[in-house]
Structure 1
Amino acid sequence: MAPMNRLVVALLLALLAFAAPAQAAPRVAALTPFSASTITRLGVRPVVLGQTLGGTDQYLASLRGVPVLTLTHPLGPNMEQLATYNPSIVLSSKTWQRGSAPMRRLGMKVYESDPTSVAAVGRETRAIGKVLGRTRAANALATKIENDVRAAQRGIKRRPRVLVILGVGRTPHAMLANSWGGDVVAKAGGQLLTAGLRSPSGIARISDEIVVKRNPDIIIAVPHGSPGAINKLAAYYQNNPSWRNTRAVKNKRVYVATGNQLLQPYPGVAATIRSVRAKFLKNY
């Protein structure tokens, strides 16, 4: 071997010997469906999940088998139970912000992330990537999500008047434009009949009389309750006699969404927009 070649080989071997080992994936507790689904797409498997408001129909198959923590107000997870999973990072939300200080006292890095609008999904994806040290992958994922959303909104031909109703038991609540479900339906081309209703949470309690007075073309009911009660609630909202004089009932356009896609945000929001357009709004 020529002297110059031997020198190059020696330098390469020296560099390999002193190279830093590959960075291990952080141990992450993902308390929201959005954060859990996002980090999975970034190549990080959470050590534990927070329970969801609805079903797990929007979760990736790769999240099956991950332990789940019960979340209760006002702190979120039980701190002792959370500590047994030894997470270095907790991805939480504003809902559980009172639990952030105790988590930090346990030595955990906490980031509160849960978008309430379609536009915020890309921004929060990039923020999570920065927290995890996966900036490049997060930028690519966020750009793909934003492009997919634009594609899902193409060709909207009709913008029907819609009430999106969160059914807490048999009490109707309107999902406003500042709620996740309301914003998704609006992005899909629905005109929300929520003028004059205000709520920081994006959910405003209404009455059956208000539903009739606003007379929507379409009602999308999202029943919310214990898993065993969902089917009964779905049947109730599908056939609520108090709404019989609305255009939605007369034209058989009362729909029930029993999954989790309108309750909590997910990275796959473009697929949700397409689903809302195809199943409910029919505005292609």
Structure 2
Amino acid sequence: MSKWLPLLLLFSALAGATPQRIVSLTPHITELLYLIGAGDRIVATDDASDTPPEARRLPHVANYRSINSEALLAQQPDLVVAWRSAQARMLEPVTRLGVPVFYSDPTDFASLSGEMRALGQLLGVTTQANAAADAFDARLTQLRERYSKKEPVRVFYQLWNPPLTSVSGIAWPAQAITLCGGNNVVGEAASPYPQIGMEEVLRANPQLIVAGSQHKAVLEHWRQWPMLEAVRRDALVLVNPDQLHRFTPRALNAVEALCQAIDAVRHR
């Protein structure tokens, strides 16, 4: 049984009608709702929802740290869509009042299409939602088939610096490295966002260093370590963080760019 079926049955019992006034509390949710054809029902978002451009004109009732419950309830929503891991506790005052909440909880690339399909069914836009999910699944499969069985390349992903922080496990960029056939040099770290000592990176000697940024200067500090293979090969690469760090189909644009960067190292 689909993990979404109990939620859909619950919403049917609670609401009795297709939701028409939706509050979206994170950027990826806002983008998904527009993608599946329900964007015109969003009445409020969070401060960071900026895609598509029309989302920027909506009232804001949340940011990455908090939710303004009073402002949210003033919008009289018949559905709130939120990020479970970050916002479930903050929404307790709202759920106690009986406002239905759909929790987004994508754990990996493959789960994203299921979420689109579930939202499509809940909101009565199954045709557009399923088409978007099918297109995403097809592209994800194509990328996996093209890159996942190639020769591994040692990759270090710089999430930010300082402190020097990377990604491991199920963190979205870490999954992207694996999907592309890369070997994440800190992939076994206990935390999904581990702080890394420079000595650890030097020992791992990555062949490619990647940062989620649009500013080339964020990687320049690596040039003081010319013995690193990535520096020697000038394999210091940026990927678009607005794509890779956001749980939407656009993430595959950045994944493809990352795959191409890893593939380029293979052929040097």
Q: TM-score range by the shorter chain?
A: 0.7 to 0.9
Q: Which residue of 2 aligns with 1:44?
A: 38
- Residue pair 2:143, 2:256 contacting (<8 A) in 1 also: yes
Counterparts of 2:64 and 2:254, CA distance in 1:
28
Change (3 A) 1:100 1:173: same
- Residue pair 1:219, 1:248 contacting (<8 A) in 2 also: yes
Counterparts of 2:178 and 2:52, CA distance in 1:
25
Unaligned runs of 5+ in 1: 1-22, 224-229
Counterparts of 1:281 and 1:114, CA distance in 2:
31
SS of residue paired to 2:102: strand
* Offset of residue 103 of structure 1: 1.7
1:66 aligns with 2:72: no
Q: Which residue of 1 aligns with 2:172?
A: 180
Q: Which residue of 2 aligns with 1:155?
A: 146
Counterparts of 1:258 and 1:137, CA distance in 2:
27
Q: Which residue of 2 aligns with 1:171?
A: 163
Q: Which residue of 1 aligns with 2:28?
A: 34
Counterparts of 2:146 and 2:249, CA distance in 1:
22
Counterparts of 1:256 and 1:95, CA distance in 2:
27
Deviations 1:214-258 (A, max 9, x none): 1111111235xxxxxx85xx5143333554431111111112335
Q: Which residue of 2 aligns with 1:20?
A: none
- Residue pair 1:29, 1:90 contacting (<8 A) in 2 also: yes
Change (3 A) 1:275 1:195: closer
Q: Which residue of 2 aligns with 1:218?
A: 208
Counterparts of 2:31 and 2:53, CA distance in 1:
10
* Offset of residue 175 of structure 1: 0.8
- Residue pair 1:221, 1:256 contacting (<8 A) in 2 also: yes
CA RMSD, 1 decimal: 2.7
- Residue pair 1:79, 1:102 contacting (<8 A) in 2 also: yes
Counterparts of 2:232 and 2:206, CA distance in 1:
11
Q: Which residue of 2 aligns with 1:78?
A: 68
Percent sequence identity over matched residues?
23
Give the total of aligned pairs: 245
Q: What amino acid is aligned across from residue 125 of structure 2 in structure 1?
A: R
TM-score, length of structure 1 as denominator length? 0.75
- Residue pair 1:217, 1:248 contacting (<8 A) in 2 also: yes
Higher Rg of the two aligned structures: 1
1:190 aligns with 2:182: yes
TM-score, length of structure 2 as denominator length? 0.79
1:101 pairs with one of 54, 71, 92: 92
